[in-house]
Structure 1
Amino acid sequence: MTHRVYIHTVGCQMNVLDSEMVIADLKRHGYTVVDTPQEADCVLYNTCSVREHAEEKIYSALGKIRESKKANPDKLIGVMGCMAQKDQEIIFKRAPYVDMVVGPGQLHAIPELLTKIRDGEGRQMAVSLGRKDDKQAVVARSHETFDPLRDPSMRPTPFQAYLRIQIGCDKFCTYCVVPNTRGPEQGRVPQQIVSEARLLAEQGCREITLLGQTVNSYKYNADGETTDMTSLLEMLHEVDGIERIKFVTNYPKDMTERLLIAVRDLPKVSPYLHVPAQSGSDVVLKRMKRGYTIAEYMEMFERIEHILPDAAVSSDFIVGFCGETEEDFQQSIDLIERCRFKNSFIFQYSVRPGTKASERLQDDVPREVKADRNHRLLDVQNRIAKEENAKLVGQDVQVLVEGPSKKADQSDPDAMVLQMTGRTHCDRIVVFDGNRRQAGQMLDVHVDDVSSHTLIGRVKTVDVVSIGL
């Protein structure tokens, strides 16, 4: 019997990549992918625990699928990912009709677990060890990965792919659950990463994005030699077929001069750096246990400006963290004004069970104050982003075309002209009138107008001179 699987993914790029791996593995075991949970006899939810909203979204989806399970008791429901690792038995209690709970370190076990359930062995749970359950090396081994399994059909576009180079995190920011859900920081074997990049190139990828919780902290030690992020970029730069290399997310204190020089000198490496600040206040950063001061962040930022003056830098901010005053918040506004980030992802703080903040700090900023600060900081960032984008009006930018934009009228599949979208080397979104055949191409686009998030242009055509014969 051919089983039909549907997967619903929320959260970060790591989760998108995990879903690709799981589907590749299930296809290898004879599964086919369907477009709706109603069609499936196996429904998987790949979850996130970074924000409360992401968890409630999954519990809401589980509530909706419950009736479908009642109508078809043989339909299997699985919860995987970070929420599964964090909540474990809680998921079975809140949603007793769930058949399987699998942490991000055990995703390779999903086909076997599904077989056990169908064979009458009851519901299954597979999760990694907690950080304090054993020695770090043993805990690390319980967070496994099976990255070389890839499925191009699961990617946002056939021409771009994520490539994990690191799992886990050892920074232990007080607000963050990742060190607990994804385990100790581990760099993957560099030769394996390069081999996977070659596979992606063979599958038609032109751009890869290297993933890690603190990606620029990447290190792999073997036989007395250390491969760091700079060395890895130099190795990947030699892979034929790959034309752009990006990497996220970066940790400020590991943004070294050597790494920035590599970004400058390796043409394939995009001059785009996502370096979360999280707050502009030293007091808040200390409470967050971020490990740097604003003076140190600015020292890093000035290093970027000196070595990569044309780089695009983006950031993350949390508003309303425990004890944040109006003065603290104003310092975040000041930091955005000074750094003029390409964009910033701004989030309202929510308590995450199991973190140091939930145990030791009071969530004392009212919800309405958090919402107000969110809007105010976003307004400042959007204004600056539009001002920075406006500097590109009248210029030509090279765009890797991804496909029709979200706003494109796709009602006519044979339409000759529709709005297409792509990204520059600096990760700026560009829209222009074009056609589907341009997807996957590198095109020069002349920028005519901008918004806070988008460059608006037209494909630059080559002038043809007629010669009389």
Structure 2
Amino acid sequence: MPSAPQPEVISLGCRLNIAESETIRALVAGRDMVVVNSCAVTNAAVKATRVAIRRAKRDRPDAQIVVTGCAAQIDPASFAAMSEVDRVVGNADKLTSQAWQTDAPVVVSNIMQVRETAPHLAASFSAHARAFVEVQNGCDHRCTFCAIPFGRGPSRSVPAGAVVDRIAGLVDAGHREIVLTGVDLTSYGPDLPGAPTLGHLVERILHHVPKLERLRLSSLDGIEIDDRLFALLTDQARIMPHVHLSLQAGDDMILKRMKRRHSRAESVALVERLKATRPDIAIGADLIAGFPTEDAAMFANTRALIDDCHIVHPHIFPYSPRAGTPAARMPQVEPEVRRQRAALLREAGETARANWLQTLVGTSQHLLVERPGDRGHIGNFAEVSLDEHAIPGDIVRIRITGATSDRLSATREPS
């Protein structure tokens, strides 16, 4: 007999969505359903959500199509109006069993009233080599370009004990690398008793889960990296040498108009300290091209930041005006100029990345093997193609034999 249809969860956007998609997968087990877990960070992300919905309906015309995530939370009516969509579920609701036990076409709570996060803490990441653990959600800051606080709600943290227990369970289940995720990860803790920081949480994880081999942190706000967290990032071999910073721009006037809390000089100084203390650390960063009022000199400052901050994992966005945000009401840079500047940033980032990858040729590294078994990432998050298959989820010792513009090639060494 043919097997019963299985649910499919399509995860768009951030690593937090990946973590939450695993919880959704467990909540809808056994149903003929496609859940699109959407992103709203840019207009392009919202468009990608609509494309995914239409493709899901074409591929599985008999399945129930449910849309959730940030785009669904911010604008549920527009998704409910799509002929392909059966239900819309909000960002807080998607992680509760109650939302999946009703046939109501729209289940979207007021996200701004949510005060807790992650009672779900996904139990399985069988489809991923690394496991993603949500420790924080929401954001209390109001960057002028960002709509995500309206999709995620206020900042809230998961108690450290619950995080430690979940990570211990995932390690016992065979996961050798854990990624801590959140919307504003470095704001972890002030809503919890004793107001612990992210550094306190990381210390507890390392102490109480000694079998955890690799811990990786997702995007960090550099201005909130205190001395405790800095020491952990630079001293602890079990923390991967990879820091992704939410920089956004390299010009002080643009940073002020974005309502960011750091200056260009503070970003450069932070990276210089990180690299001086742990030279092998690799820097990633989010950068926006064509923010309102950005002129050629301001853009040049952001472009120069790629070299000044040794950015080898760039994540480049052309500015995307989000309805209801202050930046959408500022004088806009022409769309074509935005696109051109984003292309120039990507070109500079690709050059920096290619040069960095060349410096790794001939070195020995440890690779976390990813599906199907002939690829993976090393500690600094450089992507590697392996010359022979290994078991996904294993950590193997390799020697880097070559580099292209975007990835390394390697051969396996004896353990």
TM-score between both structures, scaled by the size of structure 1: 0.82
Match of 1:106 in 2: 93
Q: Is 2:7 the partner of 1:19?
A: no
Distance 1:325-1:458 versus aligned 2 partners, 3 A rule: same
In the alignment, the residues of structure 1 paired with residue 395 and residue 59 of structure 2 have an alpha-carbon distance, to the nearest angstrom, of 45
Tell me, which stretches of 5 or more residues in structure 2 are unaligned? none
Q: Is 2:37 the partner of 1:87?
A: no
Deviations 1:61-80 (A, max 9, x none): 434566789x75xx532111
Q: Which of 443, 452, 456 matches 2:405?
A: 452
Describe the SS at the equivalent of 2:393: coil
Match of 1:146 in 2: 119
Q: Following TM superposition, by how much is the alpha carbon of 1:207 offset from its aligned partner in structure 2, in angstroms?
A: 0.2
Letter in 2 for 1:237: L
Deviations 1:92-130 (A, max 9, x none): 23x155332111111134x5444432xxxxx33222325
Match of 2:64 in 1: 76
Q: Following TM superposition, by how much is the alpha carbon of 1:211 offset from its aligned partner in structure 2, in angstroms?
A: 0.5
In the alignment, the residues of structure 2 paired with residue 253 and residue 399 of structure 1 have an alpha-carbon distance, to the nearest angstrom, of 31
Letter in 1 for 2:8: Y
The size of the alignment, in residue pairs, is 412
Q: Is 2:336 the partner of 1:368?
A: yes
In the alignment, the residues of structure 2 paired with residue 65 and residue 246 of structure 1 have an alpha-carbon distance, to the nearest angstrom, of 32
Deviations 1:146-181 (A, max 9, x none): 33232333x333xx1001110001121111111111
Match of 2:181 in 1: 211
Letter in 2 for 1:379: E
Describe the SS at the equivalent of 1:290: coil
Distance 1:165-1:112 versus aligned 2 partners, 3 A rule: closer
Letter in 1 for 2:204: M
Please say if residues 402 and 421 of structure 1, whose CA atoms lie closer than 8 Å, have aligned partners that are also in contact: yes
Q: Percent same amino acid at aligned positions?
A: 27
In the alignment, the residues of structure 2 paired with residue 266 and residue 167 of structure 1 have an alpha-carbon distance, to the nearest angstrom, of 25
Q: Following TM superposition, by how much is the alpha carbon of 1:22 offset from its aligned partner in structure 2, in angstroms?
A: 0.7
Match of 1:53 in 2: 44
Describe the SS at the equivalent of 1:152: coil
Please say if residues 431 and 455 of structure 1, whose CA atoms lie closer than 8 Å, have aligned partners that are also in contact: yes
Distance 1:57-1:221 versus aligned 2 partners, 3 A rule: closer
Distance 1:366-1:424 versus aligned 2 partners, 3 A rule: same
Q: Which of 424, 433, 436 matches 2:387?
A: 433
In the alignment, the residues of structure 2 paired with residue 42 and residue 404 of structure 1 have an alpha-carbon distance, to the nearest angstrom, of 26
Letter in 1 for 2:73: Q
Q: Following TM superposition, by how much is the alpha carbon of 1:4 offset from its aligned partner in structure 2, in angstroms?
A: 4.0
Match of 1:297 in 2: 267
Deviations 1:353-405 (A, max 9, x none): 232222x313x222221221122111111111111221222221121222337
In the alignment, the residues of structure 2 paired with residue 287 and residue 249 of structure 1 have an alpha-carbon distance, to the nearest angstrom, of 21
Distance 1:423-1:6 versus aligned 2 partners, 3 A rule: closer
Q: Following TM superposition, by how much is the alpha carbon of 1:316 offset from its aligned partner in structure 2, in angstroms?
A: 0.9
Match of 1:421 in 2: 375
Q: Which of 126, 129, 132 matches 2:110?
A: 129
Distance 1:144-1:189 versus aligned 2 partners, 3 A rule: closer
Please say if residues 402 and 410 of structure 2, whose CA atoms lie closer than 8 Å, have aligned partners that are also in contact: yes
Distance 1:377-1:68 versus aligned 2 partners, 3 A rule: closer
Q: Highest CA radius of gyration, 1 or 2?
A: 1
Please say if residues 113 and 124 of structure 1, whose CA atoms lie closer than 8 Å, have aligned partners that are also in contact: no
Q: Which of 195, 199, 216 matches 1:226?
A: 195
Describe the SS at the equivalent of 1:205: coil
Q: Following TM superposition, by how much is the alpha carbon of 1:286 offset from its aligned partner in structure 2, in angstroms?
A: 1.2
Q: Following TM superposition, by how much is the alpha carbon of 1:222 offset from its aligned partner in structure 2, in angstroms?
A: 4.7
Please say if residues 366 and 378 of structure 2, whose CA atoms lie closer than 8 Å, have aligned partners that are also in contact: yes
Identify which range, 184-193 or 330-339, moves more after superposition: 330-339
Please say if residues 215 and 248 of structure 1, whose CA atoms lie closer than 8 Å, have aligned partners that are also in contact: yes
Match of 2:282 in 1: 312
TM-score between both structures, scaled by the size of structure 2: 0.92
Tell me, which stretches of 5 or more residues in structure 1 are unaligned? 33-40, 118-122, 132-138, 406-419, 463-469
Q: Which of 351, 368, 384 matches 2:352?
A: 384
Deviations 1:209-245 (A, max 9, x none): 000122123215555x232111111111131432000
Distance 1:156-1:354 versus aligned 2 partners, 3 A rule: farther
Describe the SS at the equivalent of 2:211: coil
Please say if residues 106 and 144 of structure 1, whose CA atoms lie closer than 8 Å, have aligned partners that are also in contact: no
Q: Is 2:191 the partner of 1:191?
A: no
Describe the SS at the equivalent of 1:219: coil
Letter in 1 for 2:365: V
Please say if residues 91 and 111 of structure 2, whose CA atoms lie closer than 8 Å, have aligned partners that are also in contact: no
Letter in 2 for 1:421: R
Distance 1:99-1:114 versus aligned 2 partners, 3 A rule: farther
Letter in 2 for 1:83: A
Distance 1:327-1:436 versus aligned 2 partners, 3 A rule: same
In the alignment, the residues of structure 1 paired with residue 215 and residue 289 of structure 2 have an alpha-carbon distance, to the nearest angstrom, of 31
Q: Is 2:102 the partner of 1:116?
A: yes
Describe the SS at the equivalent of 1:400: strand
Please say if residues 7 and 34 of structure 2, whose CA atoms lie closer than 8 Å, have aligned partners that are also in contact: yes
In the alignment, the residues of structure 1 paired with residue 66 and residue 144 of structure 2 have an alpha-carbon distance, to the nearest angstrom, of 29
Match of 1:156 in 2: 128
Q: Following TM superposition, by how much is the alpha carbon of 1:436 offset from its aligned partner in structure 2, in angstroms?
A: 3.6
Q: Following TM superposition, by how much is the alpha carbon of 1:310 offset from its aligned partner in structure 2, in angstroms?
A: 2.3
Quick one: higher RCO (CA 8 Å, sep 6+), 1 or 2? 2
Letter in 2 for 1:453: D
Please say if residues 399 and 424 of structure 1, whose CA atoms lie closer than 8 Å, have aligned partners that are also in contact: yes
